[in-house]
Amino acid sequence: MSTGRVVILGAGHAGGSAAAFLRQYGHTGPITLVGEEPLLPYQRPPLSKAWLKGEAGEEELQLRPASFYAENDIAVRLGVRATRIDRRARQLVLEGGEILPYDALIIATGARPRRLALPGGEMARTLELRTAADAEMLKAGIAPGKRLAIVGGGYVGLEVAASARALGAEVVVIEREPRILARVAGPVLSEFFTGHHRKHGVQFELNAFVEALEGEGGQVKAARLNDGRRIPCDLVLIGVGALPNQELAAEADLPCEDGVVVDEEARTADPAVFAIGDVTRRPLPLYRRLFRLESVPSALEQAKQAAAAITGHRPPPPEVPWFWSDQYDLKLQIAGLPFEVDDVVVRGDPATARFAVFHMKGDVIQAVEAVNSPAEFMGGKLLIGAKKAVSRERLADPAVSMKEVGN
């Protein structure tokens, strides 16, 4: 019987889910969920999509309704920051001095947007997107005819670009690398998405970075690029990646390396302290390495790992990392990570906007990027997890079912 006091530091997707899994797995001891934002745990993915388009708000995004926490005896402290993890005394110290003793602590502090030290960056109308509060400010600035400059051609930037276009705003995406999604996807996908966004009127500046933001009266008016050109804009979104909120863990002498280091049970070096979600650097058994995996499925998996370790419940079976992104009428689903890849096999024709790119290590699929191709995503995920060799010929042939491409 699992009866100890569990304190969860961070009430985001990972933290909120951990609280629920603890009860689901039979934990009967006290659970306290502490969150910096004044909101109950909620999903962030819709912030760049449904929220901006006015299709969903706070209530729709909640992971669970308010009644869930009371009904499951989960104490929730919102709008509260912690100042110190006292590992020796097994206590979490909150701002204001309040002490929360724990038998198990779960660090779920997530990540924060990386900031650029841009001259002019402190002006009004330069925004980032992580929280609902951020999304609300961004939404307020996007309107027909407004010009949005997005710094960073990653998922946040591209999803916001798609939403902003749907709302009638002009959009320019400024990307430092030669292609968008450089850090997270292959060239075939980058080219496809660039083309698709262009068809929807998005302008791209590739191989470009912003040197400074220029404005008047504290409002941004233009982004000045490294080649001297000025991109006029009313609003700037900086979407250049996120940094793990590992500071409290590091100050408590828990090993951190661009993320709080954890094992396959989401445990840190301290057996009483777990860490889950975007703040962690976690093992990927399939790829035999540690990685800072920023995704909702990873947060959920680790929440289950921690809850299982605490309660003695069976742990979740290891998952193939996976991810999704919705832009316009495109559903991008990705499984696996392209480590140790020799080449790619393309299945279907990108011109039809229904295709998949398989990243291959010999005859084994390491990762798949599927656009409007759920069978390729689901089937690919199974093959990746099984490390099953496939016939490249059958894989490249959309007429052959994904269930029949294995050797």
Partner 1 sequence: MPKITYIEFDGTEHTVDVRNGLTVMEGAIKNNVPGIDADCGGACACATCHVYVDEAWREKTGTASAMEESMLDFAQNVQPNSRLSCQIKVTDQLDGLIVRMPEEQH
Binding site for partner 1 (CB under 8 A): 24, 43, 45-46, 60, 63-65, 67-68, 71, 296-297, 300, 316-317, 324, 326, 331, 333, 372-375, 377-379, 382
* Nearest CB to partner 1, comparing residues 372 and 391: 372
- End-to-end CA gap in the chain: 46
SS3 percent helix, strand, coil of the chain, rounded to 5, is 25, 30, 40
Site of tokens 């729709």:
60
Minimum separation from the CB atom of position 379 to partner 1 (A): 6
Q: The dihedral of CA 163, 349, 199, 153: what is its sign?
A: positive
Residues 97 and 90 sit within 8 Å (Cβ to Cβ): no
Q: How would you label 290-313 residue by residue, b for 16+ Cβ within 10 Å and e otherwise?
A: bbbbbbbebbbbbbbbbbbbbbeb
Minimum separation from the CB atom of position 43 to partner 1 (A): 5
Q: Which of 116, 169, 113, 118 is nearest to 139 (CA)?
A: 169
DSSP code of residue 307: H
* Nearest CB to partner 1, comparing residues 15 and 379: 379
Minimum separation from the CB atom of position 21 to partner 1 (A): 11
Encoded tokens for 238: 């900086």
* Nearest CB to partner 1, comparing residues 121 and 297: 297
- 45's CB contacts (< 8 A; 6+ apart) are 296, 324
Minimum separation from the CB atom of position 404 to partner 1 (A): 13
Minimum separation from the CB atom of position 403 to partner 1 (A): 8
How remote is the C-alpha of 20 from its chain's centroid?
Answer: 20
Q: Which of 174, 179, 205 is nearest to 192 (CA)?
A: 179
* Nearest CB to partner 1, comparing residues 70 and 124: 70
Site of tokens 């889910």:
17
- Give the residues across from 174 on adjacent strands: 151, 205
User: How wide is the angle at C-alpha 244 spanned by C-alphas 177 and 116, nearest 5°?
Assistant: 45
* Nearest CB to partner 1, comparing residues 274 and 323: 323
Encoded tokens for 212: 């400074």
Minimum separation from the CB atom of position 222 to partner 1 (A): 36
Minimum separation from the CB atom of position 341 to partner 1 (A): 23
Minimum separation from the CB atom of position 371 to partner 1 (A): 12
* Nearest CB to partner 1, comparing residues 65 and 178: 65
Encoded tokens for 406: 């294995």
Give the separation between CA 315 and CA 143, rounded to whole angstroms. Answer: 47
Q: What are phi and psi of 399, to 5 degrees?
A: -75, -15
* Nearest CB to partner 1, comparing residues 268 and 325: 325
Minimum separation from the CB atom of position 314 to partner 1 (A): 12
* Nearest CB to partner 1, comparing residues 99 and 375: 375
* Nearest CB to partner 1, comparing residues 120 and 348: 348
* Nearest CB to partner 1, comparing residues 291 and 324: 324
Q: Which of 291, 211, 244 is nearest to 130 (CA)?
A: 244
Minimum separation from the CB atom of position 325 to partner 1 (A): 9
Give the separation between CA 168 and CA 323, rounded to whole angstroms. Answer: 28
